[in-house]
Structure 1
């Protein structure tokens, strides 16, 4: 790859006829300090736009995200493909943070954090803190807030750049795996090609969240469904304890509720049931204490008491619903359907 200003193809996919965030996204891309780029917009329906570096492909009907990204990659002229969602917009140094890593031949991809934009509604902000906080995100807070530079083996395509040659070599995105086609792509890059994906904290995009509660739960439920499915069929990067914890919380909650009913008095005197209830009580006490500590973390970051308190029920409900959908994907889903 040329080390002096390689051409970057920024690929944006859009699926709404009237998307309030698309212009915000494109205008931020135009302001990049790194100037050698083109913009490829792939959408379901044609959008009247006039940007000097923009090329557009539209279908006139609904097409899945993976197919759109693959179509954008085929149109691309750049050595680097930079994928960004249409509800995200990059900081001015986004491309400048991504590109230098590709000077190393071993690097196939680079991702950066997707931070909740400032000034959004309280519902969107609450969704953002539920996703970005230590208890909400677990060890993956760096996906939502700038963390330390590191190697990763799985990264979402809302902010992911990939070497075009490597992308084509593994066949691009697999439309059979949606949602979660980015997990399959990263697995192919790191395991099939034995290449590296780097997390670059300076390559920031501002990513709008689904507002609480139903849109937020719907999205996180989809994440749980695909992760459960992948834990079964792609265990290399998905069969990890952290992904099972919400389901354990769900099953524990069901057990505690059922065993508390007076309809089953005989079970209350059984030693194993009593022991399990004791374990459950202390486990839930610890969980909610950690949620409280997490709310203090949110308070420190947000300087907002309301958001801090709201994070407790939002994260708890999110964990339960993620757990439901994870089990559905892990045990009962034969194929992910777009």
Structure 2
């Protein structure tokens, strides 16, 4: 782990044009990465990357991984650098992304650095509202609780030292799961506005609804897995049922900031969250039976780290 920074692009090969754009943005940084890993769910045609042959440390890795969480675990094992930066294949990095990530690690020594995601194209109301909600944590730099999944970098030594990994049972919200694990291990998550990437927001209304519903469903599962011990809330058994009013209040505050024209985004998001939460409550027993061993491991790890 003598190298400085590895960049990992996880892909399911469904967005080849965006993947090419993402790779170019990584290779055109003011500070060059020591290596770039493209880790896929299937087999990539390596000829598609002939245009970057000069960059000798491009590694293309084929896997049978089921979801992004599993791909990221593989990347942490294989990356050679002390710092590993993750970016989605349908995102692309700002010119000083790597330089600013390294600067943030140097100043603060966090376990994770994350940053905002900016829309790369004109958005519809529901997608624009989601972008406004999740991206601008602050106007500068500060510690935060949650990683922004399409844009974050980790300290590999911290992850190996505490045996942290993304749990593969979460198809949505795996970034929240790893955020909790990092905090339980005594690490910090540092948000910097300067570590920004651009991301495509082209959700149809149906796709947005499904995404937000599943986020809420898996967030409920995550709370139950953690036995409600959510950042110091202890075992407050009613906490999962407060998800909806918490989201509504947070969105109300944002609504006051951005104006009534985004009300459609608020309504769609809250309806999605309500349905997702209900699905999570009714599906918990089945989820627990299917993942009992993995849940036991996460709970044991949480007790050990705490």
Match of 1:94 in 2: 97
Change over 3 Å in CA distance of 1:79–1:69 after alignment to 2 = same
Match of 1:148 in 2: 140
Query: 2 CA distance for matches of 1:246 and 1:189?
Result: 22
| 2:281 is the alignment partner of 1:320 | no
Alignment of 1:182-201 (within 5 A): 182-192=175-185, 194-201=186-193
Match of 1:257 in 2: none
Aligned residues of 1:246 and 1:319 also touching (Cα < 8 A): no
Query: 2 CA distance for matches of 1:36 and 1:287?
Result: 37
Match of 2:213 in 1: 221
Match of 1:131 in 2: 130
CA displacement, residues 48-107 of structure 1 (integer Å, 9 cap, x when unaligned): 313214110113x56321111111222211110101111111101111111123236851
Query: 2 CA distance for matches of 1:151 and 1:23?
Result: 32
Match of 2:83 in 1: 80
CA drift of 1:115 comes to 1.1
1:176 to 169, 172, 175: 169
Alignment of 1:1-338 (within 5 A): 7-44=4-41, 45-47=43-45, 48-50=48-50, 51=52, 52=55, 53-59=57-63, 63-103=66-106, 106-117=109-120, 120-123=121-124, 126-133=125-132, 137=133, 140-143=134-137, 147-169=139-161, 170-192=163-185, 194-234=186-226, 235-237=228-230, 247-248=244-245, 294=255, 297=258, 309=261, 311-334=262-285, 335=287
Change over 3 Å in CA distance of 1:204–1:71 after alignment to 2 = same
CA displacement, residues 207-237 of structure 1 (integer Å, 9 cap, x when unaligned): 2224130111111111111111122222344
Change over 3 Å in CA distance of 1:208–1:12 after alignment to 2 = same
Change over 3 Å in CA distance of 1:158–1:64 after alignment to 2 = same
CA drift of 1:176 comes to 2.2
CA drift of 1:178 comes to 2.6
Query: 2 CA distance for matches of 1:87 and 1:237?
Result: 31
Q: TM-score, normalised by structure 1?
A: 0.71
Give the root-mean-square deviation of aligned CA atoms.
3.3
Change over 3 Å in CA distance of 1:19–1:218 after alignment to 2 = farther
CA displacement, residues 261-297 of structure 1 (integer Å, 9 cap, x when unaligned): xxxxxxxxxxxxxxxxxxxxxxx9x999x59x83872
> What residue ranges of structure 2 are gaps of 5+ in the alignment?
292-306
Aligned residues of 1:189 and 1:195 also touching (Cα < 8 A): yes
CA drift of 1:186 comes to 1.6
Query: 1 CA distance for matches of 2:273 and 2:97?
Result: 31
Aligned residues of 1:249 and 1:319 also touching (Cα < 8 A): no
Query: 1 CA distance for matches of 2:112 and 2:241?
Result: 27
Change over 3 Å in CA distance of 1:37–1:230 after alignment to 2 = same
